[in-house]
Amino acid sequence: MDADPDMIRARLVALRDELESLSDGGREDRKPVELDQQSVGRLSRLDSMQVQAMAKAADARRAQEIRRIDAALARLEAGEYGWCVECGEAISEKRLATDPAAPRCADCAG
């Protein structure tokens, strides 16, 4: 792999920071839904519960992606970035440009 490790690290950290910022921004949507039907009608409460469920699912996906990014940063520090964790072959630069946290080559991921 010919890419500059500092540029890779900066890109991964920027992606992680963006995901963490999105997660912080969605905190309000993940709060428990009020049971008081006097202030919120039944349908509005159901809508709120749906929004809450979608926000929690999105946050879980972001957390998973942050773990992938942290693993990629660990591989970078260990000098193993850009190599497939399964077969040990090089991951194509095109694949890493698309997904800098990719742990597997296209054949193993496929």
Q: Report residue 2's pLDDT band, with 50, 70 and 90 as the boundaries.
A: low
Instruction: Give pLDDT tens digits for 87-107.
Output: 999 999 999 999 999 999 999
Measured between alpha carbons, how far is 104 from 9 in angstroms, rounded to an integer? 18
How do the domains of the chain map onto residue ranges?
A: 5-22+40-109
Phi-psi region of 79 (alpha: psi -120 to 50; beta: other; left: phi over 0): left
Q: Residue 58 contacts by C-beta under 8 Å, 6 or more apart in sequence?
A: 26
63-76 pLDDT, tens digit per residue, is: 999 999 999 999 99
pLDDT digits (tens, 9 = 90+) for 20-64: 998 887 666 556 655 555 555 666 777 878 888 888 899 999 999
CATH architecture type of domain 5-22+40-109: Up-down Bundle (1.20)
